[in-house]
Structure 1
Amino acid sequence: MSAAVVAGVGMIPFTTPRRTETYDVMGEKALRAALTDAGIEYGGVEQVYAGYVYGDSTSGQVVAYRLGLTGVPVINVNNNCSTGSTALYLARQAVENAAADVVVAVGFEQMRPGSLSLLWDDRPTPMASFDAVVDTLQPRTDAPFAAQFFGGGGREYCERYGMDPRAFAEVAVKSRRHAAQNPYAVFRDPLTVDEVLASPHVYGPLTRLMCCPPTCGAAAAVLVSAEYARRHGIADQVVIAAQALTTDTASTFDPGSMMAIVGAGMTRAAADQVYERAGIGPEDVPVVELHDCFTTNEVLSYEALRLTPEGTAEKFIADGDNTYGGRVVTNPSGGLMSKGHPLGATGLAQCAELVWQLRGQAGDRQVEGARVALQHNIGLGGAAVVTLYERRG
C-alpha cells in the first residue's frame, strides 16, 4: 500500500459559543477551503467522513449537502474528543486500501457555553468503569468531571516525580505565546505565570487558565491516493507515513492510576506503533500538535509520546525544550488551550497546522526545516490517535 497523500487542508477561525455560526455553515466553509487547497471539485469526492460529538444523527449529511447532492457515501463519526482524528483514520484506511481515490474528513462542533457534561441520564454512561476507579483514588467535588480526571492525573504526576505544579502554569504561558502568531486561535493575549496561578482554582493543581475553554469551529482534510495525485498533477508533498488508533487495555483500570485513566497508556501504545511503522524515533520529530485539553495533559503527553524520558517533564519545560529553539516545538498553533477545542474539529485542525508546517506555510509560527510532524488526539472513554506526517520530495 502506498501512503495516503494529504492533498488539501482547511479550517475556519475558532470562536466562542456566543459568537459562533451554526455547525452546517462552519463545516461547509472548512470543507470548501480544503477542497480549494487540493484543487478538487466536490463532485470528485468518493467518500466523506464527518466527525462531531454534540449533534443529531446525520449532521454530516447536512454539511455535505451544502456542497452538492452527489449521492456520495457520508459516514458520521463520534469518538469523543478524538473524533476528528478518528475520521481522518477512516479516510486514510479507505485510500490506502484502494476503496477510493479521493476521500474527505471534516470535523465540526457547535458547542454550548460551559463545561462538558454527559447528556443522557436514563442509560448506562460510557464512563462508568472509569468513574469506579476514580472514586477509589480521589474525592469528588462539584468541579467539571473532565477537570477532575485530568486534574487528578496532574496531581499524581507531581506526587510521583516531585514536580512543582508551577510547571503547568508555564505550559499555559507557552501556549498563549504560540497562539499569538495564529490567526485561527481564539485566545491570543499573553499570560504570565502569576496570572495563570491566580485564576480561580478548579481541581487538584488546575486553575481556570490551565483548562481549555468550550469552542466552536470546523476543519477538514482531503486525502488522495498517490496514483490519483500523479494523474491529476496534485502535489504529493505531505503524506501520512504512519498512524495508529488504540483503545484502553486492562492496564487503564488495574492498578488504579489517574494518569492511566486519562489516557497516558493509550497514547504511549499508539506512539510506539507509529514510531515502529515509520522507522523513526521521537528524537527525529521537530514539531508536535498534542492533546492539551488541560495543561496537565500536555505534561503527561510529553512522556507518553516519548519526547522526554519518564519523570523529566519539569526539566523539559524549564529548559525550553518544548518551544522554538528547543528540542521539539509543541503546539505551535497554541494548542487546545489557546487555539480552542471544538471536539469534532480538533484532530483535523491539528492536521491542518502540521500540513502547513511541513509545506513551509505556517508564517510567523513556522518551525524551520521540519520534514516530519507528529499529531496526538485522545478521547476519554476511550481512544487515542497518533499520526506521523512526512514531507517528501
Structure 2
Amino acid sequence: MSKRAARSRVFVVGVGMTKFEKPGRRENFDYTDMVRESVTKALRDAGTSYAEVEAAYVGYCYGDSTCGQRALYQFGQTQIPIINVNNNCSTGSTALYLARQQIQMGAADCVLALGFEKMSPGSLSAKFSDRTSPLDWTFSIMNESRGMTEAPFAPQIFGNAGIEYCEKYGATAEHMIKIGEKNHRHSALNPYSQFRDVYTRDQVANSRKVHGPLTMLQCCPTSDGSGAALLASEEFVVRHKLQDRAIELVAQAMTTDSAQAFNGSAIELAGASMTRRAAQKVFAESGIRPDQIGVVELHDCFSANELITYDALKLCPPGKAHEMVDSGNNTFGGRCVVNPSGGLISKGHPLGATGLAQCAELVWQLRGWCGKRQVPQLQAALQHNIGLGGAVVISLYQKPKEIGGVAVPSKLPEPELRFGYNPAIEYRPVNTTEFESVVAFDRNPYLTANL
C-alpha cells in the first residue's frame, strides 16, 4: 500500500444487505447467516474477494464480544483487524464512519463496514438492571418536563419531541400521520422491507395508540437483518478498474449531545442539536448546499423524529417542517424524496444494520438502479442515523465526475450484467457458489466442515 496524504477521497465500491425480517420469522437466520449474505453481496458488487479487505468495523448492539470475528471468519482467517462497534441505533453508521477514517488517514485502501442485529420481539428495553443506565439523565429530564407513562421509553422520547414541535410551530398530529403514510407507501417498492403494505391516512391514524400522537403504524418495528459496505481509496478504485460502480462518500460527521440537549426541551432531548451540528459540518466539508440534496435516508424511528429532523438537516426553514409535509416536498414529485426505501418505519430497524442499509439504498439511487422508486436527476444524497445516548452520524454521497483524473461515464453499466438481476429492485439470497467466489483462501478444515 502506497503512502497517501491525509483526508484522501473515499468511495463505496460495494454494498449488500439481507431482507429485514420480523425477529424469529426466518429459519436459519442467525447473525452468521445474515453476514454471509450481506458481505457476499457487497464483495460481489465490488468484484473482489475478502482477501482484499484490510480491516473491518462490525456493528451490533445485541451480542457477545467478538461476534464480528465469528461472523467474518467464515470468509477466511486473514488476521486483519476486526473492530466491534456498539453505538445504539447509530451503530451501523458509526462502523461506516470509522471505516472511512481508516482510508482517509492512509492506513488502508479497502475497508469493510458491516452491521447486523438479531433482535427479540417487542419494544426495546434495558438489558442490565445492576448498573447505571446510559439514558438515566434522559429519563430524569423527560420525567421532570413531560412526565412518564407506561409506554416504552423510545416512543415517549420521540413522541414528546413531536408534541413540542406542534406546540411551538403549529404542526399537528396529522402531519406525523402523513409521514407514516408516505413511508409505508414508499416501502411497497422496496423488496428488502419488513413491511410492504400500503395504508391510508385513516388506517395510520386509527392503528393502536402508542404514546401521544404516535400510533403503531408510525413506529419502527424490531427486526433481524444485516447490511455491508466496502469502502476503498481512489488508488484502489483505479487499480481495480471500479470506476463504473464507485460512489464517493464526500463528507461525513459524527456528533454527540450538546449541553442544550439537557435543557428541558423534548426536541433537544431527542437529539436535534446533534443533528444540527453534524449537518453543519457535512455541508461545510462538502461545499454542497441543502437545496442540492435530492434524496435523504433519514432515521425515522418514529414519524415524529422525521418531522423534527427536517429542520435540523436544513431541508426546510426552522419551524416549517409541517409545511414541507403539506407541500409534498418530502416525496416523489417534490423537491427532495425522504426515505424512498420506506425508512425504519416500514423497512425495519435491526439496530446495527440500519446505517448500512441506508448506505446501500443511497448507493443504488446514485447508480440509477432503483426502478420505480428511483429519484430522478440526483446530484447528491444524504444519510442521517441517530442513536440515543447519544450519537448522530450524517453522510453525504455523490456520483463522482472523475476518478484518478479520468472522467466517469454518465451512464453506468446495468446491474444485470454483473449479477444476472438488479439487486436494488429484486431480493435474492446468496447461494454456495456465490459465497465461495468471495472467500479469501482455503480455510481451516474444521471451519470448512462446520459452515
Q: Which runs of 5+ in 2 are unaligned?
A: 1-6, 402-451
1:16 matched residue in structure 2: 22
Pick one of 284, 290, 296 that aligns with 1:282. 290
Q: Distance in 2 between matches of 1:160 and 1:205?
A: 15
Amino acid paired to 2:325: I
Aligned to 1:268: 276
Q: Is contact 2:8-2:106 (8 Å) kept?
A: no
Deviations 1:69-115 (A, max 9, x none): 11111000000000000000000000111101110001000011000
Q: 2:434 is matched with which residue?
A: none
Deviation at 1:138, TM superposition (A): 1.1
**Partner residue, 2:186:** 178
Deviation of the 1:18 alpha carbon: 2.6
Letter in 2 for 1:347: G
The residue identity in structure 1 corresponding to 2:289 is G
Determine the structure 2 residue equivalent to 1:248.
257
1:228 and 1:311 map into 2 onto residues whose CA distance is 44
1:2 Cα deviation from its structure 2 partner:
2.4
Match of 2:248 in 1: 239
After superposition, give the CA deviation of every residue in 1:197-245 in whole Å (9 maximum; x if it has no partner).
1111111111111111111100000001101111111126411100000
**Cα deviation, residue 196, structure 1:** 1.0
1:367-390 Cα deviation digits (max 9, x unpaired): 112131000000000000000001
Counterpart secondary structure, 2:386: strand
2:224 pairs with one of 212, 216, 226: 216
Hey, what's the Cα distance between the residues in 2 that align with 1:280 and 1:224? 22
Aligned equivalents of 2:53, 2:372: Cα separation in 1 = 33
> Aligned partner of 1:248: which letter?
D
Return the alpha-carbon distance in structure 1 between the equivalents of residues 300 and 168 of structure 2.
20
Query: Which residue is 2:363 aligned to?
Result: 355
Q: Report the equivalent of 2:9.
A: 3
Q: Deviations over 1:301-335 (max 9, x none)?
A: 11110101111111111110000110100000000
| Alignment match, 1:196 | 204
Q: Distance in 2 between matches of 1:318 and 1:162?
A: 13
One-letter code of the match for 2:260? S
Deviation at 1:260, TM superposition (A): 0.5
Distance 1:200 1:19 in 2: 22
Q: Which moved more, 1:73-82 or 1:363-372?
A: 363-372
SS at 1:66 equivalent: helix
C-alpha deviation, 1:62, in angstroms: 1.1
- The answer to whether the 8 Å contact 2:21/2:225 transfers is yes
Match of 2:237 in 1: 229
Q: Which moved more, 1:160-169 or 1:87-96?
A: 160-169
Q: Which residue of 2 aligns with 1:55?
A: 63
Q: Matched residues in 2 for 1:166 and 1:152: separation?
A: 15
Matched AA of 1:312: K
Aligned counterparts of 1:142 and 1:131: Cα–Cα separation in 2: 13
| In 1: Cα distance, 2:317 partner to 2:49 partner | 46
Q: Within 5 Å, which residues of 2 pair with 1:1-393?
A: 1-20=7-26, 21-235=29-243, 237-254=246-263, 256-393=264-401
Aligned residues with identical type, % of pairs: 53
RMSD: 0.9
Deviation at 1:43, TM superposition (A): 1.1
Residue type of the partner of 1:261? L
> In structure 2, how many angstroms separate the alpha carbons of the residues matched to 1:276 and 1:367?
24
Report the CA distance between 1:161 and its aligned residue: 1.0
Alignment partners' CA distance in 2, 1:278 and 1:141: 43
Q: Per the alignment, in what secondary structure is the counterpart of residue 373 of structure 1?
A: strand
Cα deviation, residue 185, structure 1 = 0.6
TM superposition shift of 1:65: 0.8
Q: Which one has a bigger Cα radius of gyration?
A: 2
* CA–CA distance in structure 1, aligned partners of residues 327 and 351 of structure 2: 31
Q: Which residue identity does 1:359 align to in structure 2?
A: R
**Matched position secondary structure for 1:27:** helix
Q: Whole-Å Cα distance in 1 between the matches of residues 398 and 155 of structure 2?
A: 34
Which portions of structure 1, spanning 4 or more consecutive aligned residues, are displaced by more than 6 angstroms?
none
- For 1:45 and 1:215, the matched residues in 2 are separated by 28
Q: How many residues align?
A: 392
Distance 2:36 2:63 in 1: 16
Contact 2:292 2:379 in 1 (8 A): no
* AA at the equivalent of 1:362: C
Task: Give 1:130 shift.
Answer: 1.1
| TM-score of the aligned structures, taking structure 2 as reference length | 0.86
Partner of 1:19, secondary structure, is coil
CA distance in 2, matches of 1:136, 1:282: 36
Deviations 1:108-150 (A, max 9, x none): 0001100001100000110011112111111211100001101
